Amino acid sequence: MRRRIAVLMVACGAALAGGPLAGYSGPDYAKLKALLPPAPDATLCYARTYDTRHLDQHPRQRVTEMVLSLRYVTLDLDHAILEATDDGGIEKRYFEYDFTLAAKTRDQPKTLYASGSCASAEAIGCGVECDGGGIEIEPVAGTDGAVLARLERIRMTLGCSDGPSVDLDGGLDDKVFKLSKVPRRLCEAVEADARKPAP
């Protein structure tokens, strides 16, 4: 299962970056490691709440609030991810990057959640399993750690359940979100809420 996730994340990263990469055979984590250096319990938290003035100026923007959590997770022997090497062999990877995304929208009174794994090729891509779409993350140079979250489509739910899902599409005013770095405790609360069963 985790092998499939790794392969899916490569495809997601390549698709988000604009197409398949020539000669690219496995996940790359260089850009992710530059953004979030590997360390036990390493995390980053980003957020933005759009005020009434901004939303009035962008009446077609659905998203009113967004929170993004990125984590570096170490894996033990039983959960290591198997990956193919360039020479046709197999090696184990003892880490992964994952994400949790929370969004509030004008047309949905409850918070929407999505989660999955991240990898990087030409860009950092974070995706939801089983063709659930995803986001592309780009650090913003010259800022205090801000990132751009680019969206085409991502499948979201109301919580941890197999209930109905909602596709959040990058419409006319929902394609790019500039998120600022915020204290970790905000993302901890979001992750806890995302694990709760949907009402």
Per-residue pLDDT of the chain (199 residues; tens, 9 = 90+): 333 334 334 444 434 433 333 333 456 889 999 999 999 889 999 999 999 999 999 999 999 999 999 999 999 988 888 888 888 889 898 999 999 999 999 988 899 999 999 998 888 999 999 899 999 999 998 888 999 999 999 999 987 766 688 899 998 899 999 999 999 999 999 898 888 877 6
> For 47-83, b where at least 16 C-beta lie within 10 A, e where not — what string?
bbebeeeeeeeeeebbbbebbbbbbbbeeeeeeebeb
Q: Looking at domain 28-74+96-194, does it have CATH number 1.10.3470?
A: no
The domain spans of the chain are: 28-74+96-194
Can you read off the two tokens belonging to residue 84?
A: 């193919």
